[in-house]
Amino acid sequence: MEFEIWYVFIGIAIALNISVSVFLIRRDDLETFQKGAQILIVWLIPFFAAIGLWMLNRSQDVPAKAHKSFGGGPQDSSGAGSAGGGD
C-alpha cells in the first residue's frame, strides 16, 4: 500500500512537470535561455517550482486594468475646468 502512494505522487509530479514544461516552451515572450532555465528549475524542484513558475508566467498574460485618475482630472470645486481664463 505504501509503494502505491509513492507511485501516485511520482505520476502526478511527472504529469505536472511535463505540462508546465510544454507551457513554458510555447511561450513567445521568453528567450531561449529563460525557457531552458525555468524548465530546469521545474524538473529540479518538482511540485513547488512547477506551480510557482506556472503562476508567475500565467500572471504575465492577464491584461492590466486601466485605472482612472483620482478626482477625474483638472477641475475646481464648482465642476468647471481650471484650464481656461474667464476674461
What pTM was estimated for this model as a whole? Answer: 0.60
CA distances from 25 to 2, 54, 57 (A): 35, 12, 12
Query: How many Å apart are CA 17 and CA 21, to the nearest integer?
Result: 6
Does residue 52 sit within a domain?
A: yes
* Predicted local confidence at residue 14, as pLDDT: 92
6-39 pLDDT per residue, tens:
898 889 989 999 999 999 999 988 899 999 999 9
Domain carrying residue 54: 21-60
Span 47-76, pLDDT tens digits: 888 888 888 888 877 665 655 556 555 665
* Residue 8 belongs to some domain of the structure: no
Number of domains in the chain: 1
Residue 39: inside a domain: yes
Indicate whether 44 belongs to any domain.
yes
Q: Is residue 2 part of a domain?
A: no
Lowest model confidence (mean pLDDT) among 22-26, 42-46, 49-53, 79-83:
79-83
The predicted pLDDT at position 47 comes to: 82
Within-domain flag for 7: no
